[in-house]
Amino acid sequence: MPPRLQLLLALATCVTALTGCGDLPAAPSPAELRVQAWHADVVPVLQQHCVGCHGGAEPMGSLDLDPFVAAGDPPDEAALRTQAGLAEKLAGHVAGGLMPPPGEVRPDPEAARAFSAWWTKHLEQAWAAAPPDPGRVTMRRLNRYEYRRTVRDLVGVDFPAEEIFPTDDVGYGFDHIGDVLSMPPILFEKYLDAAARIAEEAIWDYDPRTPRRLEAERLRISRGGRAVGERVLMTSDGSVLAPLEIGRGGRYAVRVRAWADLMNETPAWLELGLRGRKLAKHHVFARAREPAVFESILKLTRGPHELAVAFTNDDWDPRNPDPRKRDRNLHIDWIEIQGPLADGRTPLPPAQQRLVPCDPEVGEERSCAQEILRGLLRRAWRRPPTDVELERHVGLVMQAMADGESFRGALRLALQAVLVSPHFLFRVELDERSGPGTRSAPLDEHALASRLAYFLWSSLPDDELAAHADAGTLRTALHDQVTRMLAHPRAAALVENFGAQWLELRRLDTVAPDPGRFDTFDEKLRKSMRRETELVLAALIREDRSILDLIDWPYTYVDPLLARHYGLEGVTGKGFRRVKLTDERRGGLLGHASILTLTSYPTRTSPVQRGKWLMEEILGTPPAPPPPGVGTLETQDPALLKLSLRERLQQHREDPSCAVCHDRMDNLGYGLEAYDPVGRWRRVDGDVEIDASGVLPDGRAFDGPAELRAILRDDPGFPRCFAEKLLTYALGRGLEPYDRPAVLKIVDEARQKGLRFSSFVHAIVASEPFTMRRTSGEPR
């Protein structure tokens, strides 16, 4: 019998009878595999490469890793969750080649991958085994940007909150984080003043849809006329003056009812003027049997005016045989004014028409106030008011009227009360207790609608979103609502608010390149730089492109000024246009002058600042603060200032405490050295040829911005970083270690849909942190 067949028969007998050969060994359990991998993949790296510095009596950086080695067994799931930040740092630093630092012996690539994989895998398992924790968002007030947009959408008043209110504090990269938004006394005083100003502009003393008429007896005859019954007869060149009190500057419709006594079939000339300036002229052919109304649209400023209505072509022919044709005269019946007009013709913007939909008759004031305030409170507070809350504000209106205020004046007082209420100034999310032993609960539908609206629009919910919340159907309609809202013009807030803060574009307003070295940089170019980045981000959202196009997209938007700055030909005319980039110099955010300028010093580029920006905003791995006492390049030994910038940075990295961050940060920045401090392409810096090559700590090498863009486009850190930034913005709080499973799920769902912008938004809106909140207890 052949040996191979003998072996097969022996194995078959062993498996069937389980005698003579002994029992088959049992497969190791997951817990045993976990321990085995710990001792095989983690402990050797800690012993050989880590505890030498981060151990002993005085561990470097106060990071002591000895307990991990001494414990014998790996940390359990609860311990991993407690030390999640350290676990993520160990995995990331070793995998990325940041630790051990340059000059120290490093584990081979396979050992480094296995070490990092153990921490990453078991940390994710630890979070998956933990009870759900959506976190808790601190009640937070509207920031300046949100306040302006909310007031605009509520009452149609564009109040310049950014110019009047103090700057909002920033936390986690954004200025709407509840934990850092305070309410200093000076701000509340400004809220009171703002409420009065907004109410005055939103609710007018009169309805501009109703014309105000001045009959003939209220007109003052300057010269050339006299009162005849209920009209003014102008028998010679002259004018009558109409007293006007203009409460708000704007365009007004001015109408004059008039007719003429014609002479030789020539019409009478009717002219309107103000302070000696002619504003309009009409030819009056109408006769007494059919008077006509002559309308002019005039731009009037706020304050008292006397509008002159003049007769300017008097004539007299006493020899005419027809007595009716001997004299040309002008008859004026009345003058009326209507406005201000929203767009030149419409009497009132839609927001203000909705604000005061009824003008009550005597005795109907209470019911009209209830109708107005129920809708106003519902929109302003982002939820239906209780009966007590409604009646409190109706009572304020009635009391003000009892004290002598007009109905509209009383409404203004009620609107002021609404605008200074905590329910308006703060986004309040009341706890929804869900039973004993539970630590989280779904958000109330009105709170969910508010979260969604301020996430995508930085403003209050519109009628459709509010109707879903009222009906309790918002959760089932979330996907459709997100799609609708992203297509709405209000979604421009994602560019203006989220994009400007994430990419740090607001800092561009304060940078000041040296005018002696960069004389082409001025305010117009500064605005064009920022507008390019805004338009690219807007196109990404509008066209629902992959976020990877932010890294490397062969198109951009330029106007002629920015095109000249970039050396692009064929861009003429006015405004911005989309252009295709035909070489590899530009493409994506890394080639935008806005980013390149705000990450430079006034006189030179800064690979450190540019690399730091990439680590913080693109890769999501912000470097640690510099150690105390470490100087900048400008404070180095003067002899070093003779070296090239790259050589000086290399000297700076000789300090091991600096090298751990700068080894990666500086090399990322080197890839953008082909751009000068205001973003122009260059080949030399003074007398030194530009070297835009770099090698990252993990061994990835590049030469120039195009190869750097390719590395960043393939780096898994960017989608994760983008998800973290957008989730932080959506929630209004900083992310915690227990949010990591949600972040990973968001990225995974977005990857399945090509990393399109909308896929991140849909995944965030459906996530547990967005739709729920912690109701009690401490973080898990």
Rounded to a whole number, what is the largest CA-CA distance in the chain? 150
Structure-model confidence comparison of residues 443 and 776, the more confident one: 443
Over pLDDT 70: what percentage of the chain? 89
Q: Mind listing the pLDDT tens digit for each residue in 6-54?
A: 544 454 444 444 444 445 567 788 888 888 888 888 888 888 888 788 8
Rounded distance between C-alpha atoms, residue 611 and residue 508, angstroms: 17
Residue 740 above 70 pLDDT? yes
Tell me which residue has tokens 């002591």.
Answer: 64
Residue 458 above 80 pLDDT? yes
Interacting residues of 128 by C-beta distance below 8 A, sequence separation 6+: 741
Helix (H) or strand (E) holding 115: helix 109-129
Report the pLDDT value the prediction gives residue 18, as an integer from 0 to 100.
43
Q: Could you tell me if 594 and 530 are in contact, meaning their C-beta atoms sit under 8 angstroms apart?
A: yes
Interacting residues of 405 by C-beta distance below 8 A, sequence separation 6+: 413
Q: Which of 132-146, 304-318, 528-542 has the highest mean pLDDT?
A: 528-542
Report the pLDDT value the prediction gives residue 74, as an integer from 0 to 100.
87
- Burial of 140 by CB count in 10 Å (0-12 exposed, 13-18 middle, 19+ buried)? buried
pTM (predicted TM-score): 0.82
**Stretch 179-208: mean pLDDT, rounded?**
89
Report the pLDDT value the prediction gives residue 712, as an integer from 0 to 100.
96
**Stretch 130-142: mean pLDDT, rounded?**
87
Rounded distance between C-alpha atoms, residue 477 and residue 402, angstroms: 46
Rounded distance between C-alpha atoms, residue 509 and residue 187, angstroms: 24
Over pLDDT 90: what percentage of the chain? 60
CB atoms within 10 A of CB 201: 18
Q: Could you tell me if 202 and 157 are in contact, meaning their C-beta atoms sit under 8 angstroms apart?
A: yes
